[in-house]
Amino acid sequence: RYMAIIHPLRPRLSAAATKVVVGLIWLLALLLAFPQGFFSITAQLPGRIVCLVEWPEPGGALSGKTYHFSMTVLLYLLPLLVIGCAYGAVGRALWASAIPGDSSDRYHEQVSAKRKVMKMMLVVVFTFALCWLPYHVYFTLQYLRPQWYLHSSIQQLYLAVMWLAMSSTMYNPIIYCCLNHRFRLGFKHAFRWCPCVSAGEYEGLELRSAHFLHTRGSVSKLSRMDTTTVASALGATDEEPDEPGVAERLSLDVTSNGSSRSDSKTVSESLSFYSNTL
Averaged pLDDT for residues 106-115? 71
With respect to residue 246, please indicate whether it lies within any of the assigned structural domains. Answer: yes
Is residue 152 located within the same domain as residue 238? no
The secondary element (H helix, E strand) that includes residue 218 is helix 202-239
The secondary element (H helix, E strand) that includes residue 112 is helix 104-144
Is residue 166 located within the same domain as residue 207? no
% of residues, the chain, pLDDT over 90? 21
With respect to residue 69, please indicate whether it lies within any of the assigned structural domains. Answer: yes
pTM of the shown model: 0.61
Averaged pLDDT for residues 17-34? 94
With respect to residue 167, please indicate whether it lies within any of the assigned structural domains. Answer: yes
pLDDT for 164-206, tens place per residue?
A: 999 988 998 888 888 888 888 888 888 778 777 665 555 555 5
- Closest C-alpha among 109, 155, 164 to residue 134: 164
Count the Cβ atoms, other than its own, within 10 Å of residue 87: 20
- Residues in the chain, overall count: 278
With respect to residue 74, please indicate whether it lies within any of the assigned structural domains. Answer: yes
Is residue 172 located within the same domain as residue 236? no
Map residue 154 onto helix, strand or coil. Answer: helix
Report the chain's mean pLDDT, rounded to a whole number. Answer: 73
Which residue segment(s) compose the domain that 22 sits in? 2-179
Map residue 186 onto helix, strand or coil. Answer: helix
Count the Cβ atoms, other than its own, within 10 Å of residue 219: 20
Nearest-angstrom CA–CA distance, 274 and 76: 27
With respect to residue 197, please indicate whether it lies within any of the assigned structural domains. Answer: no
| Cα dihedral 209, 213, 218, 222 sign | positive
pLDDT for 207-259, tens place per residue?
A: 455 444 445 455 444 444 544 444 454 444 444 444 444 444 434 444 444 44
